[in-house]
Structure 1
Amino acid sequence: MRELNVVGDWQEYEEHAGLRVRVHGVEKAEPPRGRDDAAEELTYFRFRVTVENRTSEHFGIHLEDGQIDIRVGDDGESAFLDWRNSQFIEGYDLYPLRRATSVLYAACPDARLSRVDIQIQLKVDEEWTERYLWAGGIASRELPEDTGERPDPGRDSLACQVSNFLRKEAGP
């Protein structure tokens, strides 16, 4: 079973040794050129996709909207990718020991931001690479008014469920 990446992790490409990619910097943000009408009543967020070349040869890389899939919330609904405000990597020669970063804007209902899955399929030298998935989210930083406690965004997460199961199995 292929393991997913956590937002911020680097993923090495097996078919292109020395080339790696990561999704990072997921945060709420308004787009620089204004909101798209299709995203009315949605919360915007942005993230970065960085491709790094650690080899001695150059690669031609390509990353555009059709190569990115964003799913949000517990049910994995599709998020709106604002292609007008996003900065893609299109036909760029990535030379040795260099990086190229794409800044992407997307939108979804605010309640679904706690779970964001981003799948990337890079095109390198006119060949498609494997698809890789990064999981993360944006936790609300606001305190609940009635209790004064911080919210626990991971309370229902898979990691929390596994930890609870192992505690129960270990006994008192």
Structure 2
Amino acid sequence: MYEPNVVGDWQEYEEHAGLRVRVHRLEAAEPPRGRDEAAEGLTYFRVRVTVENRSGRPFGIHLEDGQIDVRVGPDGEGAFVDWRNSRFVEGFDVYPLRRVTAVLYAAAPEAALAQVDVQVQLRVDEEWTDRRLWSGGIGPAPGEAAAGAPCAAGREDLVHQVSDFLREQAKPDTA
């Protein structure tokens, strides 16, 4: 089964050796130039997408509107993406050992921010790459705060799931 990346993880591109990308810094934030009227009543958040070149040659990177899709909540509803305040990468040559970052501002109902999925499809030297998916969240997952359990979102939640799974696998078979 295909598992998404956790927000913060690097993902390498096999078709472009040395090129890697990550979605990181998923956090609540207000846009730099004010709220969009269409996002009235929604909670703003910011996500960064960084492309790093670890190869020996430069790559032309395009990471523009329409190449980043943001979905929130358990039903995967589309978040409002504030294109006006976001900063994209439009035809930038990333030289070896350099990075370039796009900053995307989006908004969604606060209750849906515990589960945020970000899908990215880069265009590298005029070629499209495969889509990659990252999952994370902002704030407690639904039901956690009400139950009095500690709040764990994003990477910490996945770490707990993996730890529980490994503990279950390590238990001796009593049957």
Structure 2 length as normaliser, TM-score?
A: 0.83
Give the CA RMSD over aligned residues.
2.8
Matched residue type, 1:99: R
Deviation at 1:139, TM superposition (A): 1.2
| SS of 1:49 mapped into structure 2 | strand
Q: Deviations over 1:142-168 (max 9, x none)?
A: xx6x99x455456xx8975x959x59x
Q: Whole-Å Cα distance in 2 between the matches of residues 77 and 61 of structure 1?
A: 28
User: 1:116 maps to which residue?
Assistant: 116
Deviation at 1:9, TM superposition (A): 0.1
Deviation at 1:2, TM superposition (A): 3.1
User: 1:61 maps to which residue?
Assistant: 61
Structure 2's unaligned 5+ residue stretches are none
| SS of 1:113 mapped into structure 2 | helix
Q: Whole-Å Cα distance in 1 between the matches of residues 85 and 15 of structure 2?
A: 31
Q: Whole-Å Cα distance in 2 between the matches of residues 36 and 123 of structure 1?
A: 28
User: 1:87 maps to which residue?
Assistant: 87
User: 2:49 maps to which residue?
Assistant: 49
User: 2:75 maps to which residue?
Assistant: 75
Q: Percent identity?
A: 67
Matched residue type, 2:58: H
Q: Whole-Å Cα distance in 2 between the matches of residues 64 and 138 of structure 1?
A: 24
Q: Whole-Å Cα distance in 2 between the matches of residues 22 and 152 of structure 1?
A: 24
Q: Whole-Å Cα distance in 1 between the matches of residues 150 and 56 of structure 2?
A: 47
User: 1:9 maps to which residue?
Assistant: 9
